[in-house]
């Protein structure tokens, strides 16, 4: 029997742009279908930075952190299975998806659950009636009933899989939403953060002919090369979009890439991508997480170039599963632990968020 503590420490966002506070919360009663986990590792994300600044407004206060890997301490009810049908038990290491209601228009009719009207998102906003321990920046987290779960194979380390919880499953979902890559398509990825890097390795393995990553800083572009990029363009060295376009056209037969993936989070990157993509090209936008950040662009390019522009947000457990399988099957070729560049304790959460903000790291993680 695992010892269940009475309380858990957790980082709390009380006010935007102010340091997180470390507070204690009572461990909730585990309802049937619910799971209490001990957090082993939680990734710090660009989204956490936006939440901290208030540019993705949330209901305060709350416990952030939406990228946790945890070990099961207690399962509520008689039996709980993971997404492959495996019966879960105490001591198993798991990851879990946001909870989609399954019954709203977007879940039931449109069959795009990530657009669910009643989504419960871990590490986003005050959880209301549920335990405040619904974010990963905590010693313990409560996985609510109804969450889809994946058991993490024991031969994969936390460092290898922590990126699945957000960036990698997002990249997998958008890769599927784009549709077939086609034979010998040239691909440009805008952005070399976690989403851009996982997209890089997906397209490298998924059939891209020439794969170009545009981003910064150099440490991220180095990893992009290790993960399959044929060429990288450092925006710090080439700050002028017109010069970048020249470089991209020179690498893509003068026509521009067939596929562009926007994973930068910078609104003006969309204008730039629409400019250098080839006629008839396909563009998938996955880095823009703000409902309000604006950029100007020329709408006529969409018509005159026959562009297909697609957006994709978040992911379901299906994409978690495929991301984990990808890591399992390709780890002999790519070192997925390279994603994690630094580890911090829960008490160092404010240092970790500053490190993420500065862009000097790829993914800092919290090890509570
Ligand atoms: Zn994230
Ligand atoms: Zn729904």
The ligand whose atoms approach the alpha carbon of 194 most closely is 1
The ligand whose atoms approach the alpha carbon of 108 most closely is 2
The token pair at 22 is 């470390």
Ligand 1 centroid distance, CA of 352 (Å): 14
* Longest Cα separation, the chain: 66
The ligand whose atoms approach the alpha carbon of 116 most closely is 2
Taking 70 as the pLDDT cut, the residues of the chain under it are 1-2
Q: Are 202 and 211 in contact (CB under 8 A)?
A: no
Q: Are 347 and 10 in contact (CB under 8 A)?
A: no
Q: Are 61 and 13 in contact (CB under 8 A)?
A: yes
The ligand whose atoms approach the alpha carbon of 114 most closely is 2
Is this structure's pTM higher than 0.95? yes
d(CA 364, CA 48): 12
Predicted pLDDT of residue 1? 54
3-state secondary structure of 178: helix
The ligand whose atoms approach the alpha carbon of 56 most closely is 1
Ligand 1 centroid distance, CA of 276 (Å): 28
3-state secondary structure of 289: coil
The ligand whose atoms approach the alpha carbon of 103 most closely is 2
d(CA 160, CA 222): 18
- For 227-265, letters b (16+ CB in 10 Å) and e give bbbbbbbbbeebeebeebeeebeebbeeebbbbbbbbbb
Alpha-carbon distance values, 270 to 45, 95, 101, 166, 299 (Å) = 21, 32, 32, 22, 12
> Please, what is the angle between helix 167-178 and helix 317-330, to 10°?
100
The residues whose Cβ lies within 5 A of ligand 2, an ion, are 101, 104, 107, 116
Ligand 1 centroid distance, CA of 22 (Å): 21
> Please, what is the angle between helix 194-205 and helix 218-226, to 10°?
20
Ligand 2 centroid distance, CA of 48 (Å): 24
State the DSSP H helix or E strand holding residue 222, giving kind and residue range, or none if neither.
Answer: helix 218-226
The token pair at 355 is 């490190």
Q: Are 349 and 182 in contact (CB under 8 A)?
A: no
Ligand 1 centroid distance, CA of 171 (Å): 11
The token pair at 250 is 């020179």
Closest CA to 92 of 106, 108, 100, 81: 81
Predicted pLDDT of residue 236? 97
Ligand 1 centroid distance, CA of 119 (Å): 16
Q: How many CB atoms lie within 10 A of CB 33?
A: 16
Ligand 1 centroid distance, CA of 121 (Å): 11
Q: 237 Cβ partners below 8 Å, 6+ apart?
A: none
Q: How many CB atoms lie within 10 A of CB 180?
A: 9
Ligand 1 centroid distance, CA of 252 (Å): 32
Ligand 1 centroid distance, CA of 246 (Å): 33
The ligand whose atoms approach the alpha carbon of 169 most closely is 1
d(CA 128, CA 32): 19
């Amino acid at each position: 029997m695992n010892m269940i503590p009475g309380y858990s420490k957790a980082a709390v966002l009380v006010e935007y742009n102010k340091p997180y506070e470390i507070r204690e919360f009572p461990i909730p009663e585990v309802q049937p279908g619910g799971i209490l986990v001990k957090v082993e590792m939680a990734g710090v994300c660009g989204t956490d930075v936006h939440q901290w600044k208030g540019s993705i407004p949330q209901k305060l206060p709350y416990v952030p952190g939406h990228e946790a890997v945890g070990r099961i301490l207690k399962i509520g009810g008689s039996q709980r299975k993971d997404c492959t049908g495996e019966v879960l038990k105490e001591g198993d290491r798991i990851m879990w998806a946001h909870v989609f209601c399954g019954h709203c228009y977007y879940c039931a009719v449109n069959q795009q659950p990530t657009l669910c009207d009643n989504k419960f998102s871990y590490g986003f906003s005050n959880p209301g009636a549920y335990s405040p321990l619904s974010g990963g920046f905590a010693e313990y987290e409560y996985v609510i009933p109804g969450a889809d779960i994946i058991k993490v194979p024991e031969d994969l380390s936390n460092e290898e899989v922590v990126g699945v919880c957000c960036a990698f499953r997002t990249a997998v979902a958008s890769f599927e939403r784009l549709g077939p890559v086609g034979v010998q398509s040239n691909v440009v990825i805008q952005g070399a953060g976690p989403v851009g890097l996982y997209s890089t390795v997906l397209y490298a393995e998924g059939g891209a002919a020439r794969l170009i990553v545009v981003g910064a800083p150099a440490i991220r572009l180095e990893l992009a090369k290790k993960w399959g990029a044929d060429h990288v363009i450092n925006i710090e060295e080439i700050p002028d979009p017109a010069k970048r376009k020249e470089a991209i056209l020179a690498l893509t037969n003068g026509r521009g890439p067939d596929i562009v993936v926007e994973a930068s989070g910078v609104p003006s990157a969309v204008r730039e991508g629409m400019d250098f993509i080839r006629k008839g090209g396909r563009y998938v936008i996955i880095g823009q997480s703000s409902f309000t950040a604006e950029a100007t662009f020329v709408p006529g390019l969409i018509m005159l170039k026959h562009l297909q522009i697609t957006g994709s947000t978040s992911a379901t457990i299906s994409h978690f599963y495929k991301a984990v399988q990808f890591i399992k099957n390709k780890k002999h070729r790519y070192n997925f632990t390279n994603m994690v560049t630094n580890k911090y304790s829960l008490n160092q959460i404010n240092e970790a968020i500053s490190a993420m903000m500065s862009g000097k790291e790829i993914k800092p993680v919290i090890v509570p």
